[in-house]
């Protein structure tokens, strides 16, 4: 159990955040950086999301939130087919990291400029100044924390809340509130965090319900083992 004053609410019950990475997209399939860009889910990606949706069908969500990116909204909408009456809200703070001029370029192009482990390590530390035309790490971390705090404060009585987002955004947040280890999140994977008045606990990370794996995983330092977007 950790105490995170930016997230943990005072609750009369446990608040469970069920975090789902969006389904696989065409840009994921081609190993192109997406960030604030977008692309549709592939056929395989849609099937993966449906598998995850069935896995979560018996959960009693009291609310649902998503990044406003189309791939995240499509994923959330599929999951909510099993949850009548739960309205989807979007929060811009949940958007993926902005890769600037490297968006829609192959991962290898960015690797020639900065190694992925180095980039993500600096993002987690909040020290990276941002890629050209992109977002600096401090701004990225700030908006993620603010989004999660807004969600937590909206549900002081607890319950289970669905949050659909992106691989790097969710992964970085989990690392900062957990043990500092970044775990690759497969498409349509499920992670879970519990919040009480005493603090926050990461209960599980990267449950690969849909068996999608992580495309393009690359060797790296223990902090980071793959690129996600």
Active-site residue 22, yes or no? Answer: yes
Q: Which residues are annotated as a binding site for substrate?
A: 21-28, 71
**Other beta carbons less than 10 A from residue 228's beta carbon:** 28
Q: Which residues are annotated as a binding site?
A: 21-28, 71
Active-site residue 96, yes or no? Answer: yes
Residue (of 4, 179, 166) closest to 99 by Cα position: 166
Identify the active-site residue in 96, 103, 107, 135.
Answer: 96
Identify the active-site residue in 22, 83, 155, 166.
Answer: 22
Rounded-to-integer distance, Cα 64 and Cα 47, Å: 21
Task: Please check whether residue 25 is in contact with residue 57, taking contact to mean a CB–CB distance below 8 angstroms.
Answer: no
Rounded-to-integer distance, Cα 143 and Cα 162, Å: 18
Rounded-to-integer distance, Cα 124 and Cα 178, Å: 12
Q: Is 82 exposed, middle or buried (0-12, 13-18, 19+ CB in 10 A)?
A: middle
Rounded-to-integer distance, Cα 163 and Cα 11, Å: 19
Exposure class string for 25-42: b at 16+ Cβ within 10 A, else e: bebbeeebbbbbbbbebb
* Residues noted as catalytic: 22, 96
């Amino acid at each position: 159990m950790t105490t995170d004053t930016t997230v943990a609410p005072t609750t009369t019950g446990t608040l469970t955040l069920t975090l789902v990475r969006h389904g696989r997209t065409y840009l994921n399939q081609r190993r192109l950086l997406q960030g604030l860009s977008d692309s549709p889910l592939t056929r395989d990606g849609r099937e993966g999301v449906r598998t995850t949706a069935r896995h979560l069908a018996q959960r009693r969500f009291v609310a649902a939130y998503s990044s406003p990116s189309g791939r995240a909204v499509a994923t959330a909408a599929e999951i909510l087919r099993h949850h009548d009456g739960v309205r989807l809200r979007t929060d811009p703070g949940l958007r993926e990291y902005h890769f600037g001029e490297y968006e829609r370029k192959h991962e290898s192009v960015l690797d020639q400029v900065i190694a992925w482990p180095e980039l993500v390590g600096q993002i987690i530390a909040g020290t990276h100044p941002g890629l050209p035309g992109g977002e600096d790490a401090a701004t990225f971390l700030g908006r993620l924390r603010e989004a999660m705090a807004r969600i937590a404060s909206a549900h002081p009585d607890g319950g289970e809340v669905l949050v659909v987002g992106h691989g790097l955004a969710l992964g970085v947040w989990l690392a900062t509130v957990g043990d500092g280890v970044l775990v690759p999140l497969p498409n349509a994977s499920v992670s879970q965090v519990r919040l009480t008045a005493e603090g926050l606990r990461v209960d599980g990370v990267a449950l690969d319900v849909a068996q999608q794996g992580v495309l393009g995983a690359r060797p790296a330092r223990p902090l980071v083992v793959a690129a996600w977007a």
